[in-house]
């Protein structure tokens, strides 16, 4: 991370991605540990989790970690993952007839912030995953007045996915950094994708370096 650690105090960081299964929960784990290691009290929020069977797997795993790193984060899984849907699909589809209350989510975010210095918010899928008719995950970043960290994959096609997602974030005037998750096609990444990315951006951030 390039910024001084104190820059992140009293902020919310929204972890988003170019698509699903890119590593948002893994990124949340890395950043929770990173901020805690650097002296900040951490918190976690996942407004909506789909594909929930008995309990939200991602949200529960991150809540357990957060409480271990910050014992004063004395909240429940319903506080952390207020909307839980069984269908593994975009929230717009998975919610069926449920109406997602964005004012409630804002208040929930503010409540969770009272227990920590920096709140990590995990999105669902990629930036343009729909929540309501005309509200997408990227809009949730603005609603929460958050900064964003975009997680991009190392697989073939990541150049296109990364540039399109960055254009979307810029079009909404969202402050962001992006990190590459070296997990798929990582053995060919240096030859296939890195040459352009390093020439275009000059410097790259990797989750594995946190």
pLDDT tens, residue order, the chain (210 aa): 778 888 899 899 999 999 999 999 999 999 999 999 999 999 999 999 999 999 999 999 999 999 999 999 999 999 999 999 999 999 999 999 999 999 999 999 999 999 999 999 999 999 999 999 999 999 999 999 999 999 999 999 999 999 999 999 999 999 999 999 999 999 999 999 999 999 999 999 999 999
C-alpha to C-alpha distance for 64 and 124, rounded to whole angstroms: 19
Residue 85 lies inside a defined structural domain of this protein: yes
| Active-site residue, from 46, 95, 109, 155 | 46
At residue 185, the pLDDT reads 94
C-alpha to C-alpha distance for 3 and 200, rounded to whole angstroms: 21
Residue 3 lies inside a defined structural domain of this protein: no
CATH code, 195: 3.40.50.300
Q: How many CB atoms lie within 10 A of CB 46?
A: 26
Residue 28 lies inside a defined structural domain of this protein: yes
Structural domain span for residue 73: 12-209
Residue 7 lies inside a defined structural domain of this protein: no
Q: How many CA atoms lie within 13 A of 137 on its CB side?
A: 27
Chain-centre distance for alpha carbon 56: 16
Residue 2 lies inside a defined structural domain of this protein: no
C-alpha to C-alpha distance for 174 and 167, rounded to whole angstroms: 10
21 is known to lie in a ligand binding site: yes
How many domains, in total, are found in the chain?
1
Residue 1 lies inside a defined structural domain of this protein: no
Give catalytic status of residue 46 as yes or no: yes
Residue 150 lies inside a defined structural domain of this protein: yes
185 is known to lie in a ligand binding site: no
- Report phi then psi at 53, rounded to 5: -95, -90
Threshold 0.85, pTM exceeds:
yes
At residue 3, the pLDDT reads 82
Residue with tokens 């984060």: 73
208 is known to lie in a ligand binding site: yes
Residue 92 lies inside a defined structural domain of this protein: yes
DSSP tag of 25 = H
């Amino acid at each position: 991370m390039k910024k001084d650690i104190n820059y992140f105090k009293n902020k919310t960081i929204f972890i988003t991605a170019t698509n699903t299964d890119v590593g948002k929960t893994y990124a949340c784990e890395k950043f929770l540990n990173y901020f805690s290691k650097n002296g900040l009290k951490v918190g976690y929020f996942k407004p909506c989790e789909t594909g929930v069977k008995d309990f939200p797997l991602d949200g529960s795993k991150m809540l357990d970690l957060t409480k271990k790193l910050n014992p004063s984060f004395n909240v429940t899984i319903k506080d952390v993952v207020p909307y839980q849907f069984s269908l593994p699909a975009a929230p717009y589809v998975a919610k069926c007839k449920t109406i997602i209350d964005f004012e409630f989510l804002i208040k929930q975010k503010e409540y969770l912030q009272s227990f920590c210095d920096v709140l990590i918010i995990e999105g669902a899928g990629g930036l343009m995953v729909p929540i309501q008719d005309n509200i997408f995950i990227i809009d949730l970043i603005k609603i929460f007045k958050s900064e964003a960290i975009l997680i991009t994959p190392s697989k073939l096609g990541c150049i296109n996915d990364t540039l399109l997602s960055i254009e979307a974030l810029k079009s909404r005037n969202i402050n962001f950094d992006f990190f590459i998750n070296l997990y798929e096609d990582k053995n060919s990444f240096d030859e296939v994708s890195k040459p352009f990315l390093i020439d275009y951006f000059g410097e790259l951030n990797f989750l594995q370096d946190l």
